[in-house]
């Protein structure tokens, strides 16, 4: 499956800046301030290994799963974040278990066996995260255990309903049931709504469509994107372990990723208003425009590289 195939082209567009039924400006800015607060909390609790489980193979399978099961874009993005958080904590818990309960001479063998088991369960864990995300975003289009079992069987993975239920419960318990977090799509839609409110001449539907494609591309090439951003932040100097720890907050910053994607999309589809979009998102989020521009430049470079391929 190519990266181009993994990026869905069927986008369900919200109605931006609806004067009759939309939110008031006061409500919108209150909502954005709440998102900024949530984002700041997420950044403050960031771990050095943040995002290390967002690997291309896993993301491609997750995207394909959501496409085949006709899940919304919000489910797709929320599932990625849940999967990354779960895998990091899950592996940490298993490692602590080995250290505490296994004799020193058998730890290496036990840990090797556990890593193999974790790897073999990745597909099931991804589907579990999609199940949870579907329940968080819809009251009728959820991924039931029966549907999950059929999908896994069609993909060549034979899990029974009980295993699927237990996996979903394991994900929830590992995350301490803290799964009600705003997805990157929520950030994106709020930011675009604010842009449209400030500048009515900016056409939001094409911007929104491209933003989702760029969001997909960032997740597919997640490690490469953030490695390049890290190099820019380090001024081209060699990156140390201490640098990686301090950079965890950047990887965890969903608002930074959102405004960079919006800025990059504006450069592609609305070059005349690109500078204005950059100014607006910087003022809206208090993120320096040079930081946004650096990230957006990396995304645009990635688009060019994939276009050449």
285-301: pLDDT as tens digits: 999 999 999 999 999 99
* CA–CA distances in Å: residue 224 to residues 193, 251, 298: 30, 12, 10
Q: Please check whether residues 72 and 24 belong to one and the same domain.
A: no
74, pLDDT greater than 80: yes
Of 121, 155, 174, the residue that ends a domain is 174
Domain identity same for 157 and 207: no
For the residues 94-121, what does the mean pLDDT come to?
89
| Summary mean pLDDT of the chain | 88
32-41, 119-128, 139-148, 257-266: which range is least confident on average? 139-148
Q: How far apart are CA 42 and CA 35, in angstroms?
A: 10
Asked if residues 273 and 192 have their Cβ atoms less than 8 Å apart, the reply is no
CB of 259 closer than 8 Å to CB of 281: yes
Percent of the chain at pLDDT > 70 equals 90
Using pLDDT thresholds of 50, 70 and 90, give the confidence band for residue 118: very high
The last residue of one of the domains, among 174, 202, 219, is 174
The CATH number that applies at residue 128 is 1.10.472.10
Last residue of a domain, one of 145, 174, 203: 174
**pLDDT value of residue 192:** 95
Q: Give me the number of domains the chain comprises.
A: 2
| Spatial distance between the Cα atoms of 2 and 221, rounded to a whole number of angstroms | 12
pLDDT at 264 over 80: yes
Cα three-residue angle 293-298-299, rounded to 5 degrees:
95
Angle, CA of 162, 101 and 89, to the nearest 5°? 55
At 140-178, the pLDDT tens digits run: 788 999 999 999 999 899 899 999 999 999 999 999 999
- Are 24 and 115 found together in one domain? no
Range of the domain at 95: 49-174
Same domain, 194 and 286: yes
Condensed to tens digits (0 to 9), the pLDDT of residues 16-69 reads 766 666 678 899 999 999 999 999 999 998 888 888 899 999 999 999 999 999
Q: Is the pTM of this model over 0.75?
A: yes
C-alpha–C-alpha distance, residues 157 and 155, integer Å = 6
pLDDT > 90: percent of the chain: 67
pLDDT confidence of 139, banded at 50, 70, 90? low
User: Is 60 exceeded by the pLDDT of residue 10?
Assistant: no
């Amino acid at each position: 499956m190519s990266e181009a195939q993994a990026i869905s082209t069927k986008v369900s567009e919200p109605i931006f800046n609806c004067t009759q039924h939309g939110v008031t400006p006061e409500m919108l800015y209150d909502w954005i301030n709440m998102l900024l607060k949530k984002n700041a909390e997420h950044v403050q609790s960031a771990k050095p290994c943040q995002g290390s489980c967002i690997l291309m193979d896993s993301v491609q399978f997750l995207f394909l799963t959501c496409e085949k099961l006709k899940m919304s874009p919000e489910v797709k993005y929320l599932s990625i974040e849940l999967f990354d958080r779960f895998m990091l904590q899950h592996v940490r818990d298993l490692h602590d278990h080995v250290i505490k309960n296994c004799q020193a001479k058998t730890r290496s063998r036990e840990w090797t066996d556990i890593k193999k088991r974790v790897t073999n369960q990745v597909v099931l864990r991804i589907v579990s995260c999609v199940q949870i995300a579907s329940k968080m975003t819809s009251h009728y289009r959820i991924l039931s255990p029966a549907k999950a079992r059929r999908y896994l069987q069609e993909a060549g993975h034979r899990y029974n309903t009980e295993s699927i239920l237990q996996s979903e419960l394991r994900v929830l318990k590992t995350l301490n049931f803290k799964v009600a977090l705003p997805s990157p799509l929520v950030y994106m839609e709020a930011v675009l709504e604010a842009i449209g409110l400030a500048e009515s001449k900016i056409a939001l539907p094409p911007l929104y469509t491209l933003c989702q494609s760029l969001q997909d591309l960032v997740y597919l090439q997640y490690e490469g994107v953030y490695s390049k951003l890290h190099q820019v932040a380090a001024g081209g100097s060699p990156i140390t372990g201490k640098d990686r720890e301090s950079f965890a907050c950047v990887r965890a910053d969903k608002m930074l990723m959102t405004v960079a994607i919006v800025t990059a999309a504006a450069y592609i589809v609305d070059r005349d208003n690109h500078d204005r979009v950059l100014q607006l998102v910087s003022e809206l989020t208090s993120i320096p425009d040079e930081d946004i521009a650096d990230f957006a430049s990396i995304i645009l470079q990635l688009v060019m590289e994939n276009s050449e391929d």
